[in-house]
Amino acid sequence: MASVTQQQIQKFHKDGFLVLEQFFSAEECDSMRSQIQRIIAEMEVPPHCRTAFSTKQEEQVQEQGSSDYFLTSGDKIRFFFEKGVLDEKGNFLIPKEKSISKIGHALHAYDPVFKQITHSPKVQELGRKLGLERPVVVQSMYIFKQPGIGGEVTPHQDASFLHTEPLGRVLGFWIALEDATQENGCLWFIPGSHTNGINRRMVRAASGASTCIEFVGSEPAYDDKQFIPLPISKGGLILIHGEVVHKSELNSSESSRHVFTFHVMEAKGTTWSKENWLQPTPELPFPSLYT
């Protein structure tokens, strides 16, 4: 992997994202894929926790909001499923390894393979090149984007879910473990859209409310023509500014699009919102990226 140049870092600040091809080796990608297969093989899913994952607002409030399983997943390794994979009784209609949407949100803390990748020397070096002084890891996810059913992710900004004061302190690292193409659901971005603040926030609802989370503000209707696709090969890394608008389409292809992604916050001079769904816990304070 070539070292990141100042020119590339300037491009990141201008666009709000940066594509770094071949950042991780094929072996590193395969080690993450094998590890996730082991985790799935051992997965026990309590029926009441079989929460389908959705990004559409009403469903999100209804399904995740009523679900403690999601809200308390920040310091655990938990499983979230695609829609339509369970019958009314909560039994799988298709094999469980093909029905899972994502695993989150503390793989970086509790799994040795994902921990090693998150804190790998090249990630730490990249953090230093970006000028991060006290970066901490706030969450991680393994995303499957299953063939044929991997759902779309509607346009959003990560800072809607991971809010800080000031803004601009959250950064996503998105690692393609297989080629991500326009057919299997690569990411699409609006270049430069990270400079206008955020449009909505997902917050913890007041105690006693019927849902655990609610949205403040709303996502505007974005012009489809403003989005550009970012296909990337296996091992590639996309850096994602917390306020850049991005999305991915439904995966209607025959191939999956596995990704490991984690979010880092510059903790120096930054306040993590007490209203975020994700909170550090005594068991898992946000670990430093630098080891």
**Tokens 């310091």, located at residue:** 75
Q: How far apart are CA 91 and CA 47, in angstroms?
A: 8
Whole-prediction pTM: 0.93
What is 6-272's CATH number? 2.60.120.620
3-state helix, strand, coil in the chain (%, to 5): 25, 25, 45
Domain range summary for the chain, segments of one domain joined by +: 6-272
What is the DSSP annotation of 105-159? E-HHHH-HHHHHHHT-HHHHHHHHHTT-SSEEEEEEEEE---TTTB--EEEE-GG
What pLDDT digit, counting tens, does each position of 243-291 carry? 999 999 999 999 999 999 999 999 999 999 999 999 999 999 999 999 9
Q: How far apart are CA 134 and CA 264, in angstroms?
A: 10
Residue type, 195: T
Q: Could you tell me which residues are beta bridge partners of residue 214?
A: 203
What pLDDT digit, counting tens, does each position of 39-60 carry? 999 987 655 555 555 556 656 5
The pLDDT, as a whole number, for residue 50 is 54
First to last CA, the chain: 21
